[in-house]
């Protein structure tokens, strides 16, 4: 069953049908998540509204760190490969 989608024509046909719906769902979930993180979360008793920046900053920092890690792994695998 899984090898059925190995054909690029079949995969592209199914992907063309699914992709617009996934885009709509992604934008809706992102908007709802930003609303929950920035507007409906309670303010901290000491830092007030400034604590809400952590809802954006911490995930962005993790994504940046994982991107640098992936870039380093790709560079290492390229340099350690057999260059002719």
Which is it for the CA torsion 12, 14, 16, 19, positive or negative? Answer: negative
Question: 52 lies in a domain?
Answer: yes
pLDDT of 11-35, one tens digit each? 999 999 999 999 999 999 999 988 9
CB 4 within 8 A of CB 10: yes
Residue 32 structure tokens = 């709802």
CB 51 within 8 A of CB 44: yes
Question: 84 lies in a domain?
Answer: no
* 39 phi, psi to nearest 5 deg: -110, -40
d(CA 30, CA 56) in angstroms, rounded, equals 12
pLDDT number for residue 19: 96
pLDDT number for residue 18: 96
Question: 55 lies in a domain?
Answer: yes
Residue 12 structure tokens = 């592209």
Q: For the chain, how many structural domains are there in total? A: 1
Question: 48 lies in a domain?
Answer: yes
Overall pTM > 0.85: no
Domain that holds residue 8: 2-79
- Residues making up the chain, counted from first to last: 84
Average pLDDT over residues 75-79: 89
Question: 44 lies in a domain?
Answer: yes
Question: 22 lies in a domain?
Answer: yes
pLDDT of 44-54, one tens digit each? 888 888 888 88
């Amino acid at each position: 069953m899984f090898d059925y989608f190995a054909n690029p024509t079949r995969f592209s046909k199914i992907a063309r049908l699914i992709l617009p719906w996934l885009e709509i769902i992604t934008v809706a979930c992102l908007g709802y998540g930003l609303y929950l993180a920035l507007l409906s979360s309670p303010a901290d008793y000491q830092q007030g509204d400034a604590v809400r920046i952590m809802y954006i900053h911490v995930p962005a920092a993790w994504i940046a760190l994982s991107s640098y890690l992936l870039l380093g792994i790709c560079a290492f695998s390229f340099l350690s490969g057999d260059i002719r």
